[in-house]
Chains A and B, each alone.
Chain A
Amino acid sequence: MSIEAPVETRQAGIAPPVTIDLPSAAHGSVSRARSSRTLHRVLRTAGPIALLGLWQLICSVGLVDAGLLPSPWRVADTIRELTTDGTLLPAIGVSLRRAGVGLLFGAAIGITLGLVAGLSRIGEEALDSSLQMLRTIPFIALVPLFVVWFGIGEEAKYALITAACIFPAYLNTYAGVRGVDPKLIEAARVFKVSGLALAREVILPLAMPGILVGIRFSMGVSVLALVAAEQINTQSGIGVLVLDLNGTLRTDIIISGVVVYAFLGIVVDLVVRNLERLLLRWKASIV
């Protein structure tokens, strides 16, 4: 938006009027913000749609064998089929349950450990170094071990997802607690807020952004760990679709499973975003 600056020198005939580019004029800022938000939305959806289009194009032109890469149209059809014949929804239910329970336990353990390590020196010394060490283990490497420990049933799946979810929650909670401005803690201490009250009323809310980042990462990891866990002798869940257990090479079904996994990821992200909006109102932008 350009605005003509009021220039008195015009009458004097010394300098020509100056035109300044302002980032946003006072009256235009609201509509401007709104239009840029719409633009954002359009751009964000345009990417995936273009990709889908390209995929469809490749298949329609016959660039690859339809048996290897079915078209998005075909996959959508398959998903519809799987829904109507009653396989997909129960499968999603089973998988969601695995991811959800594992996430619940993992995040709860991770946040608790993070709070203990962040709030107390003894806790930090007892926990931090061992957890920092454990977190470098890729959880997929644990699959065989967990099968030995927990068998091939549901327990191994829950255990794996739980284990994977602990670390993001722990790390971010710990960092969140440690990141609280010591000057604020000192101010609270002046006004006789200490111990549990200090933790609950000052440190926990201020660490909440970090904790929520941890939950977000844990949610992402729970879907990842779900995929890994469902490679273990799966009789139910989305894993059954993806693993192509009867060897029919139905790529359309495999891709349907993948699409559902991706969809779970998106849903999880939405949930956390709204949680953040709810819990971090004090952090919202100043305007």
Chain B
Amino acid sequence: MTTGIATSETVDAPESRDRPAVRVSGGRRAFGDQIVLDDVDLSIAPGEFIALLGASGSGKTTLLRALAGLDRLDAGTVTVPRERSVVFQEPRLIPSRRVWRNVVLGLRGTGRERALEALTEVGLADHAQAWPRTLSGGEAQRVALARALVREPGLLLLDEPFAALDALTRLRMQELVAALCRRHNPAVLLVTHDVDEAIRLADRVLVLRSKRLDSGVVIDKERRAQTGDSYATDLRYHFLNLLGVRGPQPTDRSAHPSDPVQEAHT
């Protein structure tokens, strides 16, 4: 059975505060004989920042594309907000449009001012008139971020948006994304390979494994901020383990009698 995307019509209704922004149930996708997603359930609250980990080829992009409406699922239902934005691994700016016209791509009757506001947020107001070719990789990716956020999406989909950046630029971009997501407050699904990045940015981290999603681990932001490294180290160990990488066990586990990993109940 093929199920199209059901777009939730009432994102602005008052009761939508408690309704999830994204709901996938029984999601299934196969390419030929190869089943990639099988009975995937996912629920993202409005404004929640989800990081999705998973081995290469585990189907993260497949899931993200289904949420973006770029691809279909073979079975299951998908409910997503009407306004969705994607930032891909590459900036994917249209080279024949000036930077600001890339930002307002597809927004009829939206003028330069709005584009400039969005570009200011990513620190690129000076480049509004530039051609995309003249931007550096990091700048182009910031324009892509501005283009995604300028339409105030209910769901922001990020498919390894930092993967092609150098380490320093990546850290800056992570901070920028965190700040802008706090301000615009969309539901976010960040696909990443970087466990540390997932822990640093997300409210909840999911791992796509054996074609399914677990309910994920809620990141305790207080503990992440206070105890700093050791909490993060434990989480890191947990996720790497799930991903099949056997790292060295954190040595001072006794210092943390409580398990850092609390399964989310949603």
Contact = CB atoms under 8 A, between A and B. Distances in A.
Contacts of B134: 286
B133 A188 contact: no
Interface stretch (A130-138, A201-209, A269-277): A201-209
Nearest to B83: A192
Contacts, number: 56
Contacts of B92: 183-184, 186-187
Interface in B157-175: none
Contact of A189 (B70, B96, B97, B133): B70
- Of A188, A191, A192, most B-chain CB atoms within 10 Å: A191
Contacts of A284: 131
A43 B106 CA distance: 48
B105 A188 contact: yes
A286 B133 CA distance: 7
Interface of B: 68-70, 84-86, 88, 90, 92, 94-98, 105-107, 131-134, 147, 151
Given A206-B95, A282-B131, A183 B90 contact: yes
Contact of A192 (B90, B94, B106, B131): B106
Chain A interface mostly: helix
Interface of A: 183-184, 186-193, 197, 201-202, 205-206, 208, 281-284, 286
B94 A186 contact: no
A114 to B, nearest CB: 18
Contacts of A282: 95-98, 131-133
Contacts of B88: 183, 187
9 contacts: A184-B92, A187-B94, A188-B94, A191-B107, A201-B97, A205-B96, A282-B131, A282-B132, A282-B133
B256 to A, nearest CB: 42
Contacts of B70: 186, 189-190
B106 A193 contact: yes
A11 B151 CA distance: 62
B137 to A, nearest CB: 13
B96 A191 contact: no
A206 B85 CA distance: 23
Contacts of B106: 188, 191-193, 197
A248 B68 CA distance: 76
Chain B interface mostly: loop
B95 A191 contact: no
Contacts of A183: 88, 90, 92
A283 B92 CA distance: 16
Contacts of B94: 184, 187-188, 201-202, 205-206
Contacts of B97: 201, 205, 282
A67 B78 CA distance: 86
Nearest to A285: B133
Contacts of B151: 191
Nearest to A204: B96
Nearest to B150: A191
B133 A191 contact: no
A130 B152 CA distance: 48
A208 B96 contact: yes
A190 B70 CA distance: 7
Given A183-B90, A206-B95, A191 B147 contact: yes
Given A201-B97, A202-B96, 10 more contacts: A187-B92, A188-B94, A192-B106, A193-B105, A205-B96, A206-B94, A206-B95, A281-B131, A282-B96, A286-B134
B73 to A, nearest CB: 17
Contacts of A186: 70, 92
A190 B68 CA distance: 7
Contacts of B98: 282
A184 B106 CA distance: 13
Contacts of B84: 190
A206 B97 CA distance: 10
Nearest to B88: A187
A273 to B, nearest CB: 19
A286 B84 CA distance: 33
B164 to A, nearest CB: 13
B150 to A, nearest CB: 10
A283 B97 CA distance: 11
